[in-house]
Structure 1
Amino acid sequence: MTTTLTPFPGHFDDTWRAFDGIHGGLVLAAMLRAAAVETDAVPVAATAHFYAPVRPGPIAATVRPGHGGRSPGVQVDLDSAATALVRLSRNIAPAVHAPMSDAADNPEKLPALDIPVDFVPFSQHLDIRPINSARPFAGGAEPEFDVWIRLLPTLEFTGVERAAILLDALPPGLFATRTMPVPIPTTEITAHFAPAVHTSAGPWHRLRHRTVWWTPDLCVDETELFTSSGELAAQARQLRRILDH
């Protein structure tokens, strides 16, 4: 079944453009919303594949039955540009056990990271406050970022949708070690959403993001998203292509 989504509000806006197409986290959020609308269930995990840049314009998502297995799921397609397998649940229960983040400074007391909007347009929807010393293209020693982050109140999102956007909000961890930008697009992302994603008390989240391995043409990033009170909200792993060669 094909669903035209309206709350985004029905189209991908050019202000959400990344380097070449619409920000991948917003694309994933749209596919998660399509799955939830069609099934009246809650996404708990998703694996998305990006085949081509998603362009600004109307959002038309096709939702198909999944391949079965031990947990119910659906496949969501956005034309020929992206597809996702979304796992669903009809029961939201508190976590019996989940990791906690350690203490960090109040985000309001930290300086904001200045990202030029003409370089990354979707950055205008974000407020990012670095916790560690890492900065994009600063030539640091470690390929990782540790930040406070929040979405600015421009659109309405569910907790899962907001988490999908924030999980993909930072550049590749390798950018912390480099001094010049190179294209490193995401080809695949897998995200898991913890129960705390539905009960976050405020807009601020702590985001830990790092490149865990890389070759001359591929890298993998891992990301953890915590609520402002330190509860794990979501996790992700991304496979990216490095195009500077």
Structure 2
Amino acid sequence: MTNTAPPPSPLDLLGRPTADRIGAGAHLNGFGGFHGGLTVALMAAAMRGEAPGLPLRSVTARFHRPISDEFRLETSLTRAGRSLTAVGAKAVTAKGMHVEASAVLGSPKAAEWAEFAPAMPEAPPVEECEIFAIPSEFVPISAYLEIRPVGPNRPYAGGKEPELTAWIRLVGDERPPDALRFILLMDALAPSYAAVLSTLALVPTVELTVRTGENLDRTSSPWILLRARTRSATVDGWVDEEIDAWGPDGAHLGSAQQLRIIRTD
């Protein structure tokens, strides 16, 4: 009798050394390819290896084409300074580079500057919100995500506002998110523009930037509240999206920006 190991989960991959080749199993696909947020989280893990001990402040990735095959990560140290360090990375398959990324790491000197952060929107507690099930055949990686929407907006429901708000966590994960899991979760909602669509159109990511806040290190819950909003959209399909995240205590955990493009083919 042969024992077949289950396919690796997102948490399995994030816990492995990033020097290994990564199998792009279809069970980890988002829209049409290996999930973008998971890709960026793995690239961030690899880039942190170039600057051990420094906290990650920001990571930006540009997606040139979907990943559907085994890939490897290549990193390079761009600049090492006293306060800030910059690192670059590429996700490469046998067909060439698919994603390129850069990260800023560092720890500025302690100071007492005034703090500002977006206020958390009104939201019921997690346990009062119903689970929103995404068909895994449509977005396979959704099997690893628990999403509980807040408010009336839903993807592809023909609403009036291009905004989505939801509590979210990784299924079965009781730990508060670290920087890598946070990057993955920041790309876990459907595109906010989909809230105004009534028919299926893909809105893939062209560029994603995630910035972590200091409160991320202090949060104690696996749940984060995401609010994704389309800031602007053009008639030819370019979408500028902003995303903010809070813990259940109202502390702002970080933010993200996405450049998307609407596609019907």
The alignment's TM-score, normalised by the length of structure 1, stands at: 0.88
The within-5 A match list for 1:1-245 is 7-8=15-16, 11=22, 12-40=24-52, 41-57=54-70, 59-66=71-78, 71-79=84-92, 80-90=97-107, 97-99=115-117, 100-153=119-172, 159-215=178-234, 216-244=236-264
Change (3 A) 1:102 1:180: closer
Q: Distance in 1 between matches of 2:179 and 2:37?
A: 11
**Equivalent-residue separation in structure 2 for 1:213 and 1:28 (angstroms):** 24
Is the Cα contact below 8 Å between 1:137 and 1:176 reproduced in 2?
yes
Distance 1:115 1:95, change over 3 A: farther
Distance 1:56 1:160, change over 3 A: farther
Per-residue CA deviations over 1:116-147 (Å, capped at 9, x if unaligned) read 01011011111111111001111101000111
The 3 A distance-change label for structure 1 pair 56 and 157 is farther
Pick which of 30-39 and 69-78 moved more: 69-78
Cα deviation, 1:128-177, whole Å, max 9, x if unaligned, reads 11111001111101000111111113799961111111111112111111
Letter in 1 for 2:34: I
Change (3 A) 1:163 1:102: same
CA distance in 1 between partners of 2:221 and 2:113 (Å): 19
Q: TM-score, normalised on structure 2?
A: 0.82
**SS of the residue 1:66 aligns to:** strand
2:203 and 2:41 mapped to 1: Cα distance?
21
Letter of the 1:235 partner, please give it: S
Cα RMSD (Å) of the superposition?
Answer: 2.6
Sort the Cα spacing of 1:171 and 1:6 in 2 relative to 1 into closer, same or farther, 3 A.
closer
Query: Cα gap change, 1:177/1:30 in structure 2, threshold over 3 Å: closer, same or farther?
Result: same
Q: Which aligned segments of 4 or more residues in structure 1 are displaced greater than 6 angstroms?
A: 91-95, 154-157
Q: Is the 8 A contact 1:64 1:75 kept in 2?
A: yes
Cα displacement (A) at 1:91: 6.4
- Displacement of 1:26 in angstroms is 0.3
The code of the aligned residue for 2:160 comes to A
- Deviation digits for residues 9-65 of structure 1, max 9, x if unmatched? 8534432101211111000100110111231122110111111112253x5211112
Structure 1 position 95, deviation (Å): 8.9
Structure 1: 5+ residue stretches without partners: none
Contact 1:47 1:86 in 2 (8 A): yes
Percent identical across equivalent pairs? Answer: 29
CA radius of gyration, larger in:
2
CA 1:6–1:225 in 2, change beyond 3 Å: closer, same or farther? closer
| 1:102 CA displacement | 4.1
Contact 1:7 1:156 in 2 (8 A): no
Q: Which residue of 1 aligns with 2:8?
A: none
Structure of greater relative contact order (alpha carbons < 8 Å, 6+ residues apart): 1
Q: Is the 8 A contact 1:184 1:241 kept in 2?
A: yes
